[in-house]
Amino acid sequence: MADISFGSGDVWLVGAGPGDPDLLTRKAERLLAMASIVFHDALVSQAILDLIPRQVMQVPVGKRSGRHSMSQPAINGLLVKSSHNGHRVVRLKGGDPAVFGRMTEEVDALQAKGIRVQVCPGITAASAAAASGVFSLTRRGSTRALTFITAQGCGNGQSDIDWSAIAGAQTTLAIYMGRAAAPHIAEQLIANGLLPSTPILIAVNVSSPGERLIRGRLDRLAALMATVGDKDPALLLVGEVTQANAEAADLSSEWFELPIGMASAPKVRIRA
């Protein structure tokens, strides 16, 4: 096991993974034990926060999609100040810091002040969702691309996503922060070439005890997303791969049927 360089004034950006403490990397756990202060997002699970030693200061900075309790410049300022005060600083982020984690802003702010910053990766939600659903995000010969997208702002016309470039039949789409934009996402993907029947999976509270995997089709996305609680983090996967092993999942999980719209409308299944 390699030694970790973590001196006074150093900052580590650490991925907390999707929520299950068993999916936290060994390096991340070691860094939490070595830190003197930890700034953590709201998506970091309590089970992971419980791994932080009692003597380590914990500071919630509460960033979640659509609900930011602290601005990014304010967070940057706290990191810089804590480093200048001689702390060993961990910035703990849900998932992987490099996947829609605003890592660049924090690295730039720290390096501009001459502060040493390093990164410990984490498991991103898309990987955890595929693991729970027992399917691969790519498939040789049929699914040749995997595209990560943030849908923040899509619902109010602020998105600059090129939908025609990403709506490919041989592509799996992993869409983060897409709850509010679900109707817009489905509309744009169908308008740009995906079939209404394209399989989708909504992973809710992925890897946590309250995990739900909701399988359906693209033209039912808005209705399916409406079944997700406002406070529950949800990831959307779009593509043929999400159908793989659906029957095997049936054998090991409790499922129930959710009617969408009229009684004659197609039904979808939710793993509870």
Neighbours of 267 (CB within 10 A): 12
Q: Tens digits of per-residue pLDDT, 137-155?
A: 999 988 999 999 999 867 6
Percentage of the chain surpassing pLDDT 90?
A: 78
129 vs 206: CA distance, rounded Å: 6
Per-residue pLDDT at 253 exceeds 70: no
39 vs 50: CA distance, rounded Å: 14
Q: What is the pLDDT of residue 255?
A: 43
Confidence class for position 270, pLDDT limits 50, 70, 90: low
122 vs 14: CA distance, rounded Å: 7
Burial 137-158 (b: 16+ CB within 10 A, else e): beeeeebeebeebbbbebbeee
Across residues 40-66, what is the average pLDDT?
90
Catalytic residue among 10, 93, 177, 225: 177
Q: Which of the residue ranges 132-136, 138-142, 187-191 would you say has the lowest mean pLDDT? A: 138-142
Q: Tens digits of per-residue pLDDT, 153-175?
A: 676 656 689 999 999 889 999 99
Q: Tens digits of per-residue pLDDT, 67-122?
A: 557 899 999 999 999 999 999 999 999 999 999 999 999 999 999 999 999 999 99
Catalytic residue among 10, 20, 41, 96: 41
Q: Write down all domains in the chain, each with its CATH number in brackets.
A: 11-120 (3.40.1010.10), 125-271 (3.30.950.10)
Is residue 63 annotated as part of the catalytic site, yes or no?
A: yes
Which token pair is 195?
């079939």
User: Does the pTM of the predicted model rise above 0.75?
Assistant: yes
More confident residue, 195 or 251: 195
More confident residue, 62 or 99: 99
Q: What is the pLDDT of residue 263?
A: 36
Catalytic residue among 63, 93, 103, 225: 63
Q: Tens digits of per-residue pLDDT, 196-206?
A: 999 999 999 99
Is residue 177 annotated as part of the catalytic site, yes or no?
A: yes
